[in-house]
Structure 1
Amino acid sequence: MAPLSTFDTLIFNLFLFVFLFSIANHSHARQHPKTSDSLVLGLTNARTTIKLPKESSTLNLKLSSQMLDMIEPLREVRDGYLISLNLGSPPQVVQVYMDTGSDLTWVPCGNLSFNCIDCDDYTNNTPMSNYSPSHSSSCVRDSCASQFCIDVHSSDNPYDPCYIAGCSLSTLMKATCSRPCPTFVYTYGEGVVAGTLTRDTLRVHGNTEGVTREIANFDFGCVGSTYREPRGIAGFGKGSLSLPSQLGFLQKGFSHCFLAFKFANNPNISSPLVVGDLAISSKEHLQFTQMLKNPMYPNSYYIGLEGITLGTGSGSMIRVPTNLRDFDSSGNGGMLIDSGTTYTHLPQPFFSQLLAELESVIDHPRATEVEERTGFDLCYRVPCTNNVTNGMKIMDVDDHLLPSITFHFLNNVSLVLPQGNNFYAMNAPRNSTVVKCLLFQSMDDEDYGPAGVFGSFQQQNVEVVYDMQKERIGFQTMDCASSLAFQQLHKP
């Protein structure tokens, strides 16, 4: 498939400018049974946005009848977790963010023609991998006859774009129009992408070294221009365009175990991401909370938060507002669980109440100058030494000097966040102290969208299981790095 012409690019950039101007004032936070069908993937660590998503046809997979247990590594970078997609013939490797908060899988298209607006902070510091459609013999542009074309367009009448492209009403209703699916625009909480819907071969690794599976006609966005979205995304939402849906696993489930931030940018270690039966089998020992059904945003994963406890023992639970477990008639509320948002966000005035409670139980000196520089709300100078005990720096184990935080979800689920998930060292130790800041943030002061977001930083060293069969999400704290030996992940 040829890249966009110069004229098409100019038209798109004009449209994108108009679109961005129109939304400028409306930004919102918005798995080993004997006959198992499973996919074990690998992740890397990545970025922060709050998204509102987009139903479910499953692509036919050209797979052998043998067990479908597959492995890919998720590599951690500083602002999220990356998965490597092997697309095209011959394969091109593109690293994209794993995102449970959206459906569409898209990749940057073209080495020279890809344009990211307002992305200097990313592109100047991070090497990007792009996909070139002209270098793949199996790449085709999707047509207006595809259900995916209807799904990716979000106008009131989904037939509008294809009708404008020249499809007759008769061919639209019969899903027989062969005209190319028109360029789409897909929005996130802080960014926008535009591109063409494309099909190509996706390859994934089997759980036996050297074994690969091919998924023909995998549907994804070939994106040539973006706003504040410098790298592609593998959507893990419930919609038909998502990666699990197209792999045929959406009615089963998936799980992940995010490595701690200290492994960020380490090419030799990856997080386990499992898709299929293996993700949900033998997991009854986990604590499970029910998935909440949002009538307006059915493709997102919502859970209900009842309260938060500080410290151990008999500390009293801080009750949260009811909108963190309920929705209004417009679908606003609930807690979105989102791997594409780095830090957990909580609504006001509850967030300020939590800060006040933390201040009352922490007696270390405040580092207000670091708060001003970083934008984080609570930073403290915590005592530490440079001594080494059993090969480990004391700095790695001094989190007991700060209070633990426990999240209480619906169904009597109490998740004690691993200590490293609350406060994070902003710099190296100096004068026997290290500055640590609370990595929670306040939700934007909006009346729509989720009331809170459970972000990826607070999910570190926690096995999170999305059980789609029983519509529940399970939690279990664990050392994700130690679990890698069992998963036998490939290096990315």
Structure 2
Amino acid sequence: MATLLTAHLFFFVVFFILSQSCFSTCSKQSRAAVVLPLKTQMIPSSSIPKPPNKVSFHHNVSLTASLTVGNPPQNVSVVIDTGSELSWLHCNKTPNLLSTFDRLRSSSYSVIPCSSPTCTKRTRDLPIPASCDSRKLCHVTLSYADASSSEGNLAFDTFRIGSSASPGTIFGCMDSGFSSTTEEDSKTTGLMGMNRGALSFVSQMGFQRFSYCISDRDSWGVLLLGGGGSGSNFSWLQPLNYTPLIQISTPLPYFDRAAYTVQLEGIKVSDKLLPLPKSVFVPDHTGAGQTMVDSGTQFTFLLGSAYSALRNEFMEQTRGILTVLEDSNFVFQGTMDLCFRVSLNRSTLPVLPTVSLVFRGAEMRVPGEWLLYKVAGEVRGGDQVYCFTFGNSDLMGVEAYIIGHYHQQNLWMEFDLQNSRVGLAPVSCALAGQRLSKGI
């Protein structure tokens, strides 16, 4: 569930492909794994070297990859988003965009007519049905949780990661929407959808499993397409705890059937389980209340009753440790209304309790250092402002629990489509990157 990109550049990541994927020339069963080691560095994007077979990554509100599309290849930068299906590129040059895909320059680009089965059948999982425009081309419209939207035509072209090519990849060539407000945002060409829908990148490539480890600061991380986090080659990784993906057969108005939906069963602050009935976490008859694992959202959002219970308990356990910002008019990003004042003279935060998200069969433990986020430019007297990194879904206007990537740092996250489950285990992303780069 991608949001518009913010101006905050936390990390710049460079990764390279160590093994080749056979992409469209292989069956799903024999798909070769692609190992993508990541190195985070606090360096300006203008100084990144661009040698062959390397792909640029940076991490702000999402994971952003640089790859090539078309013939001759054009460099594009796309957000990797497990909460979205259709990959898309900006195709219309506008003053606020520095990076667009020029379809007229690509000899392998082709549009998809609205009468094509690709348009009439393969778009079935999109939230807004495809339509037919005045030129009888397949027209798609995308909308996101932050009220941003875009529209354009469905098309085919060749996507390349490193030296591996996938001809005939379906994507959206978008002509409007998603206006950028910062220079960093304007460099992003589009988005790579990674959910379970028929048109997602992993579905089109035939990968039955992918994993990632998101690094925290200046350390190694990794994205692995194919393969798995088990066996002798992963002896350095703790056994994964798996939670099943929730699937429903009947379409419901507020349930995203293509999302990576898991069952949240409880929330703990330190070791104290919040006194919430499990029914609070179960989707209702409309589908509202599902829990989605989403790399395209930065923070984690809870429905109102669960958020209020967590907010109150966190305040209680940090009483005398943190000073609450008493300003009802300040709500960070419009969804986070619990903020604190921390002295400018303080170089580190105090020790804070952990928050654990309890799933069916697995638990995600968020350490205290990732529970507060410094708000750039907000100073009150001699204090800086930090906000709680859990937000209220009700304020965002979304009827769902969303597990964002900020709370997935230094966890091995495996999305196992073949067995319909998500696995997780704590891991040092530095260790994961080093071991995989050596093939061990």
TM-score, length-scaled by structure 2: 0.74
Equivalent residue for 2:67? 85
Identify if the C-alpha distance between structure 1 residues 213 and 109 changes in structure 2 by more than 3 Å, giving closer, same or farther: same
Equivalent residue for 1:344? 300
Checking the alignment, whether the CA contact within 8 Å between 1:71 and 1:204 is kept in structure 2 is no
State the 1:132 CA deviation.
Answer: 0.6
Within the candidate set 281, 289, 306, 1:333 is matched to 289
Checking the alignment, whether the CA contact within 8 Å between 2:130 and 2:138 is kept in structure 1 is no
Superimposed CA distance per residue, residues 355-407 of structure 1 (whole angstroms, 9 cap, x where no aligned partner): 11111111222233598273532333457977xxxxxxx63xx45x2111111
Q: After superposition, where does 1:222-261 map in structure 2 within 5 Å?
A: 222-227=173-178, 231=188, 232-249=190-207, 252-260=208-216
Equivalent residue for 1:379? 339
Within the candidate set 255, 259, 283, 1:300 is matched to 259
Within the candidate set 161, 170, 173, 2:132 is matched to 161
Equivalent residue for 1:368? 326
Superimposed CA distance per residue, residues 120-169 of structure 1 (whole angstroms, 9 cap, x where no aligned partner): xxx5xxx742111111121111234543312337899979638x86xxxx
Superimposed CA distance per residue, residues 320-362 of structure 1 (whole angstroms, 9 cap, x where no aligned partner): 4545542333322221111112111111122112111111111
State the 1:317 CA deviation.
Answer: 0.5
Distance in 2 between residues matched to 1:136 and 1:270, nearest whole Å:
35
What secondary structure, in the 3-state scheme, does the structure 2 residue paired with 1:309 have? strand
Identify if the C-alpha distance between structure 1 residues 474 and 385 changes in structure 2 by more than 3 Å, giving closer, same or farther: farther
Equivalent residue for 1:357? 313
Checking the alignment, whether the CA contact within 8 Å between 2:338 and 2:388 is kept in structure 1 is yes
State the 1:291 CA deviation.
Answer: 0.8
Distance in 2 between residues matched to 1:276 and 1:95, nearest whole Å:
22
What secondary structure, in the 3-state scheme, does the structure 1 residue paired with 2:309 have? helix
Distance in 1 between residues matched to 2:430 and 2:69, nearest whole Å:
28
Distance in 2 between residues matched to 1:160 and 1:470, nearest whole Å:
34
How many residue pairs get matched?
Answer: 379
State the 1:463 CA deviation.
Answer: 1.5
Identify if the C-alpha distance between structure 1 residues 239 and 285 changes in structure 2 by more than 3 Å, giving closer, same or farther: same
Checking the alignment, whether the CA contact within 8 Å between 1:462 and 1:475 is kept in structure 2 is yes
Distance in 2 between residues matched to 1:307 and 1:342, nearest whole Å:
21
Q: After superposition, where does 1:56-455 map in structure 2 within 5 Å?
A: 61-62=24-25, 68-72=32-36, 75-110=57-92, 112=93, 114=94, 123=96, 128-144=98-114, 146-150=116-120, 151-152=122-123, 161=132, 181-189=137-145, 190-205=147-162, 212-227=163-178, 231=188, 232-249=190-207, 252-260=208-216, 262=217, 271-278=221-228, 285-295=239-249, 296=251, 297-311=256-270, 315-323=271-279, 325-362=281-318, 363=320, 364-368=322-326, 372=330, 374=332, 376-382=336-342, 395=348, 398=349, 401-411=351-361, 413-426=362-375, 435-444=385-394, 450-455=399-404
Distance in 2 between residues matched to 1:273 and 1:305, nearest whole Å:
25
Superimposed CA distance per residue, residues 95-139 of structure 1 (whole angstroms, 9 cap, x where no aligned partner): 1111111110001113x3x48xxxxxxx5xxx7421111111211
State the 1:485 CA deviation.
Answer: 2.6
Identify if the C-alpha distance between structure 1 residues 214 and 345 changes in structure 2 by more than 3 Å, giving closer, same or farther: same
What residue identity is the alignment partner of 1:462? L
Structure 1, unmatched stretches of 5+, are 1-28, 30-43, 47-58, 116-122, 166-179, 206-211, 264-268, 387-393
State the 1:292 CA deviation.
Answer: 1.0
What secondary structure, in the 3-state scheme, does the structure 2 residue paired with 1:484 have? helix
Superimposed CA distance per residue, residues 24-79 of structure 1 (whole angstroms, 9 cap, x where no aligned partner): xxxxx9xxxxxxxxxxxxxx979xxxxxxxxxxxx981369997232455723322
What residue identity is the alignment partner of 1:444? D
Checking the alignment, whether the CA contact within 8 Å between 2:280 and 2:306 is kept in structure 1 is no
State the 1:218 CA deviation.
Answer: 0.9
Identify if the C-alpha distance between structure 1 residues 462 and 319 changes in structure 2 by more than 3 Å, giving closer, same or farther: farther
What residue identity is the alignment partner of 1:221? G
Identify if the C-alpha distance between structure 1 residues 159 and 332 changes in structure 2 by more than 3 Å, giving closer, same or farther: closer
State the 1:455 CA deviation.
Answer: 1.2
Distance in 2 between residues matched to 1:94 and 1:45, nearest whole Å:
20
Checking the alignment, whether the CA contact within 8 Å between 2:128 and 2:141 is kept in structure 1 is no
Identity %: 25
Checking the alignment, whether the CA contact within 8 Å between 2:112 and 2:138 is kept in structure 1 is no
Distance in 1 between residues matched to 2:423 and 2:166, nearest whole Å:
29
Distance in 2 between residues matched to 1:385 and 1:108, nearest whole Å:
44
Distance in 2 between residues matched to 1:379 and 1:277, nearest whole Å:
41
4+ aligned runs moved over 6 Å, structure 1: 64-67, 153-160, 383-386, 428-433
Larger Rg: 1
What residue identity is the alignment partner of 1:70? V
Distance in 2 between residues matched to 1:45 and 1:300, nearest whole Å:
26
Distance in 2 between residues matched to 1:238 and 1:217, nearest whole Å:
19
Question: Larger % of helix: which?
Answer: 1
Distance in 1 between residues matched to 2:381 and 2:179, nearest whole Å:
39
Distance in 1 between residues matched to 2:343 and 2:308, nearest whole Å:
26
RMSD: 3.8
What secondary structure, in the 3-state scheme, does the structure 1 residue paired with 2:224 have? strand
Question: Larger % of strand: which?
Answer: 2
State the 1:272 CA deviation.
Answer: 2.0
Instruction: Point out which structure has higher relative CO (alpha carbons under 8 A, 6+ apart).
Output: 1
State the 1:303 CA deviation.
Answer: 0.9
Distance in 2 between residues matched to 1:366 and 1:237, nearest whole Å:
38
Equivalent residue for 2:18? none
Identify if the C-alpha distance between structure 1 residues 148 and 60 changes in structure 2 by more than 3 Å, giving closer, same or farther: farther
State the 1:433 CA deviation.
Answer: 7.2
Distance in 2 between residues matched to 1:219 and 1:476, nearest whole Å:
33
Identify if the C-alpha distance between structure 1 residues 66 and 457 changes in structure 2 by more than 3 Å, giving closer, same or farther: closer
State the 1:439 CA deviation.
Answer: 1.1
State the 1:271 CA deviation.
Answer: 4.3
